[in-house]
Amino acid sequence: MGWISAGMGLASMFMGNKSAKAEQGAINQGFDYMKSNPLMKQSQEQGSQAMGLRGALLGLGGDQEAADQAFKQYQDSSGFQFRMDRGMAGIEGSRAARGILNSGASSKELMSFGQDIASEEFGNYMGMLGQESGAGLEAAGLTGQAGSQAGQATAASIANNTQNQMSGLGGLVKGVGSIFGF
């Protein structure tokens, strides 16, 4: 009877170790998938780019070339240029039809319109960059959360495996003890 107990204790220790390794592999696989998921990576990268553009547009970092490049990208955005072109054409057409295109009032209206559109579109553009930055931060947060959960699951798995191995060791000691009459 003691040999059976000892053998079962030994088998329990080895099987628990094999099960823990399989569990750890599954945990690592889930976290690795989260880290390498193309949509998560893309969201993080785009969020980082948007954050960089926002910073450059606000003059953060002191890099004038980056600020100029970010502003040029804003100006080339379809929303800004489309509204600017259509609005200017509408004002010029209306003023030309009335024969007052080259008046001071026309120049003032065109300048006022351009400033209003630029301000409004700049606010819209900064808002879109902010949303994209937020999506990137959220993706990074989810990846970090997955890593934390994987760590917690690993710790729980190790604790459970240790308990199982100690139980198996207890069975082995009890079995060996009964063989020798202890």
d(C-alpha 46, C-alpha 64), whole Å = 22
Rg (CA), the chain: 34
pLDDT digits (tens, 9 = 90+) for 20-37: 566 666 666 666 766 677
Name, in order, each residue with C-beta under 8 angstroms of 57's C-beta and a sequence gap of 6 or more. Answer: 67, 70, 71, 74, 126, 129
Residues 6+ apart with CB under 8 A from 158: 20, 24
Q: What is the DSSP letter of 135?
A: H
Q: Angle formed by the axes of helices 78-97 and 104-179, to 10°?
A: 170
Q: What pLDDT, in 10s, does the model give residues 26-81?
A: 666 666 766 677 777 787 788 888 888 889 988 888 899 999 999 988 888 767 88
Indicate the pTM of the whole model: 0.57
